[in-house]
Chains A and B, each alone.
Chain A
Amino acid sequence: MTRADISLLLITLVALPFVYLHYWQAAGVGTTVRILRGETLLRELPLNKDQEITIEGNLGLSHLQIQNGKIRFTDSPCSGKVCIHKGWLSHSGDFNACLPNRISIEILGQGKFDSMNF
């Protein structure tokens, strides 16, 4: 083998882990969240940026919090507060809604699960 062969092999071997990581990383962790009012898409946000969001629904304002790749309802103007009780969502395919306020969130991305049962 010449030096060119060896460099080519080295480049391939160095590049492969990056290619692998780029395409197969983040198993189980959703990457973005979709926020809908009714069926209308309002926003699509990355889960890797911590922030708090306020969304106006049918009854009033729903408050959402994104932290460490997860999202949850922190407040909503519904009576039951079932949406808040559900806690953090982080897996792709998972979703949660404040149905009285018509606000729902859904995690997208290549994750561990295709769908969530509850």
Chain B
Amino acid sequence: MSLHRWFLLLLALALMLSASGCQQAPREYKQTLLVFGTLVTVTLRDVDEKQAQQAIEQIRQDLNFMHEVWHPWKPGPLGRTNALLATGGWFSANPSVLPLIEKGRELAERTDNLFNPAIGQLIALWGYHQDDPPKGPPPSRAAIKKLLAQHPRMTDIEFDGLRMRSRNPAVQLDFGAMAKGLAVDRVIDYLRNQQISNAIINAGGDLKVIGRHGDRPWRIGIRHPRPTPDKDENVLAALDVNDGESVFTSGDYERFYAYEGRRYHHILDPRTGYPADQTMSVTVIHPDAATADAAATALFVAGPDGWRAIARKLQLRYVMLVDKNGRIIMTPAMAQRIILMDPEDEPLIVDPAVDPR
């Protein structure tokens, strides 16, 4: 063969190899862990196998530790703190729960107590304090009323140096609406310290990312709050997530039980003591996963009428709310980034910064 034929042959081979080359792209390690009372999927890119295995094992240990320490009713540090808060007396604060209490106080204040980690007794009354969902029946109206009348608040807790107490014996701490976020923040910090620069941590559907997926951003799907049983598509929207961002969704479909034909989900309105009933789901994007977690809960409780005021106080840019009728409401910044899968969905775009309500 002459030179130019060889060249042509090489060109053909090169084309085929370049097509198959993308299959051998950087290795991706994905492992699902049954920790923190949920499924946690760790996805790591551009790491070698040994480093990936070590990191995943460390994440498992860390999450198990945080789950134990931050569990409101098990006999760990937060469980003991709760027992001591109920006495009303002074006691030495356990350092491992202080970050939760500090963050919880700040977020309760900034959400007008719609995220209120002091209502542990109410959550336990409904049975949503355990890893496994309750069966019902719902608690009596009188029992709920009695707890609400005691007005447990994070501001009831006072500190004196390293000692703390609650002025209100009804305060029982349950950080269920924030702990997962704080845990995800910690895992991401650990991965960054390990020089892992491309990863996703997905803890039971809520996630935070580092870096990118090769030459494009990480791309996620947001599940529809009401999937049609016979329809293939259960995805509401697609979203590209940037380095350091977390995406948290609170939905009424995540944990619930049905009793005598009525559904009772796990997101309780601290004002009424009952599951908040104006919203199906709220999605928040924020660099701080603990904030995203608590904000999604607070905005869910606030509902389609009240979410703007809370979003303003938290200075949230990216919010999407699906109300009880399935109407999609979102901020202008969210609308610019999110891609709704159903072209017939027409979201209502509302800017909390300019909308007076």
Contact = CB atoms under 8 A, between A and B. Distances in A.
B223 A118 contact: yes
Residue among A9, A38, A86, A113 with max Cβ neighbours from chain B (10 Å): A113
Contact of B8 (A5, A95, A100): A5
A105 B117 CA distance: 32
Contacts of B39: 95, 97, 99, 104
Given A79-B257, A116-B202, A87 B132 contact: no
Interface stretch (B14-22, B83-91, B178-186): B14-22
A85 B253 contact: yes
Interface string A92-118: 011101011010101010001111111
A8 B12 CA distance: 8
A24 B1 CA distance: 33
Nearest to B237: A117
Given A9-B8, A12-B12, A116-B202, A88 B38 contact: no
A5 B4 CA distance: 9
B95 to A, nearest CB: 31
Contact of A117 (B5, B132, B135, B283): B283
A57 B140 CA distance: 34
Interface of A: 2, 4-5, 8-9, 11-12, 15-16, 19-20, 23-24, 36, 38-39, 68, 70, 78-80, 82, 85-91, 93-95, 97, 99-100, 102, 104, 106, 108, 112-118
Interface of B: 1, 4-5, 8-9, 11-12, 15-16, 19-20, 22-23, 30, 32-34, 37-39, 41, 43, 131-135, 200, 202, 205-207, 213, 218-223, 227-229, 231-232, 234-235, 238-239, 247-249, 251, 253-257, 283
